[in-house]
Amino acid sequence: MTALRKTLKLPLAEARARVEAGLREEGFGILTEIDVAATLKARLGLERPPYLILGACNPHLAAKALEAEPDIGLLLPCNVVLRQEGEEVEILIQDPEATFALLPEGVRAKLGTLPQEARERLARALGRL
């Protein structure tokens, strides 16, 4: 899968705080949170290492994208995964350029440079960790 990635040797809670701070500096907020491990345990009794999916959104970029293409909401918000791997936390951020590259050419043309701008902001946020 195409994603922006980084691994930190930190507890999950500290890694999450750093991820959220980095995203905030780039104008993103967290709209949704899915605790995959807790959900699988509650629904299926399965034990898994901590695994969170955060839905990150930059409202300015989202507003521009929705104005260009109302159906773009199917691809929003941008998923950020924090996955515990032993003593490390792997962080994966959905790459907007790769995701939007799957759209028809006409839609991509309407979006212009928004996917690149979103990717640059997300990469800077990840680089701050």
pLDDT number for residue 75 = 94
pLDDT number for residue 1 = 75
- Asked whether residue 12 carries a pLDDT value surpassing 90, the answer given is yes
Helix/strand number for the chain, H first, E second: 6, 5
CATH of the domain at 101: 3.30.310.70
- pTM for the full predicted model: 0.94
Mean pLDDT across 87-97: 97
32-83: pLDDT as tens digits: 999 999 999 999 999 999 999 999 999 999 999 999 999 999 999 999 999 9
3-class state of residue 2 by DSSP: coil
Helix/strand/coil percent split, the chain, to 5: 50, 25, 20
Length of the chain: 129
Residue 43 backbone dihedrals phi, psi, to 5 degrees: -90, -35
3-class state of residue 46 by DSSP: coil
Q: Which domain holds residue 52?
A: 3-127
Number of structural domains the chain divides into: 1
